């Protein structure tokens, strides 16, 4: 079994984008990584969108589903609440779980 990628895509309103990017870089992503559940992270901007707002994707690499589950139970509710309290009504987020495949 490969590693697990916890992928979070967030579409942010233009009026908060600058503040959101700064807060994600300086506070939120470091806080997620400080939980110790993830091996690495990657942050991307979604290109080619035509709708209003910009989407970003953050991928966190986790060693096992058990560790990801522990993160989701022990840490995610507080971290997601902080995000929601700060930007409520100004973003849409969805999460996807992926399993890496060794190409041998």
Domain boundaries, the chain: 4-64+88-99
pLDDT at 71: 98
Dihedral Cα 25, 48, 81, 70, nearest 10 deg: -80
Return the closest-CA partner of residue 87 out of 37, 31, 23, 5.
Answer: 23
Looking at CATH, the fold of the domain delimited by 4-64+88-99 is given as Alpha-Beta Plaits (3.30.70)
* Of 90 and 103, more confident: 90
Region of poorest pLDDT, from 19-23, 51-55, 81-85, 86-90: 51-55
Q: Give the integer Cα–Cα distance in Å for 54 and 24.
A: 14
pLDDT of residue 103: 85
Q: Is residue 19's pLDDT more than 90? A: yes
Of 22, 94, 31, 89, give the one whose Cα is nearest residue 57.
Answer: 94
pLDDT higher than 90, residue 41: yes
pLDDT of residue 48: 80
> E strands, the chain, where?
4-12, 38-45, 54-62, 91-99
Structure confidence by residue, pLDDT tens digits, 47-78? 986 777 899 999 999 999 999 999 999 999 99
- Asked whether the whole model's pTM tops 0.75, one would answer yes
- Chain position carrying tokens 């190409």: 103
């Amino acid at each position: 079994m490969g590693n697990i990628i916890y992928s979070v895509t967030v579409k942010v309103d233009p009026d908060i984008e600058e503040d959101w990017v700064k807060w994600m870089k300086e506070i939120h992503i470091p806080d997620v990584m400080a939980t110790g559940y993830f091996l690495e992270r990657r942050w991307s901007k979604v290109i080619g969108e035509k709708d209003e707002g910009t989407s970003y994707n953050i991928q966190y690499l986790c060693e096992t589903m058990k560790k990801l589950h522990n993160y989701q139970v022990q840490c995610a509710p507080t971290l997601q609440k902080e995000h929601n309290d700060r930007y409520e009504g100004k973003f849409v987020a969805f999460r996807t779980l992926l399993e890496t495949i060794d190409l041998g």
